[in-house]
Amino acid sequence: MKLIAGNSNLSLSQSIAEELGIPLTNSTIKRFSDNEIFVEINENIRGEDAFVIQSTSFPANDNLMELLVIIDALRRSSAKRITAVMPYYGYARQDRKTSARSPISAKLVANLITCAGANRVLAMDLHAGQIQGFFDIPTDNLMCSPVFIPDMETQQGRGEDVCIVSPDVGGVVRARAYAKRLGASLAIIDKRREHANVSEVMNVIGDIKGKKCVMVDDIIDTAGTLCNAADALIEKGAAEVHAYVVHGVLSGPAVDRIEKSGLSTLVVSNTIQATDAIKNSSKIRQLSVAPLMAEAIRRIHEDRSISVLFN
């Protein structure tokens, strides 16, 4: 097995390597003066099972291109199998046509990764399940619940005093799964989005009065939806409001909004490398997905089932 780390999230790559007990493959990844990407693998890779760890987070285009170039370098070095390990799959929110002449960029990215030479993909909490079908190669979509649920039980408790909240109608299935595992009740935020990256909370569906509310979602970007939802829950009588979100994009004014919002805590995974603002925030914590991803990589390498990890 060979682990090749892109530059998007070196700390996560190193943690995965430590969990597996193997070093990261010696490679050179640099930029020329015109910002073109150059990759050279400094070890023999012929006949090896190669795993490229690269999130396509900000800057998304640079990190995506770096992933493609690394895959091409491995393919031309005669790697036996190449797995693109993408803790965060960028462009995932562009998974359908939203207007008459708009692209489906998530499908385009899938085509690029396949054409570059990847033999399979391992991702974490894809924004939409149908993205798995965008690939013509095996694609495994891990869930972050094995990381989040133990922390929820420890920090927030379980039972009817806890209410799992979906911040929008589209996340109800995810929220219901968490509520079932924790024996908690379920509530839904009904919101209306008037403009891109601007949301208005309209109503709270469910009994949340006096309960500890825990919102669950897959991506937090500008944090407008989550902060507005937290304020709505408090107005409706929630005792506390916490949030667990897999991918902490947290762009623009997100961290500042969270600090000023009614959220008590926000827990994100480390699929995206934390900025200094996130590390210094009094309300944001990060949980590591390295053990989960390392186990998935180990099972893929050994041709064992990883379906148990989906639970």
DSSP E strands, 56-206: 81-86, 120-124, 139-142, 162-166, 185-195, 198-205
Which residues fall within 8 angstroms of residue 102, CB to CB, at 6 or more apart? 94
Q: Are 265 and 236 within 8 A, CB to CB? A: no
Catalytic residue check, 191 = yes
Which residues fall within 8 angstroms of residue 257, CB to CB, at 6 or more apart? 222, 223, 224, 227
Angstrom distance (rounded) from CA 185 to CA 183? 7
Query: Which member of 191, 209, 212, 236 is catalytic?
Result: 191
Q: Are 206 and 166 within 8 A, CB to CB? A: no
Instruction: Name the DSSP letter for residue 172.
Output: H
Q: Which residues are catalytic?
A: 191
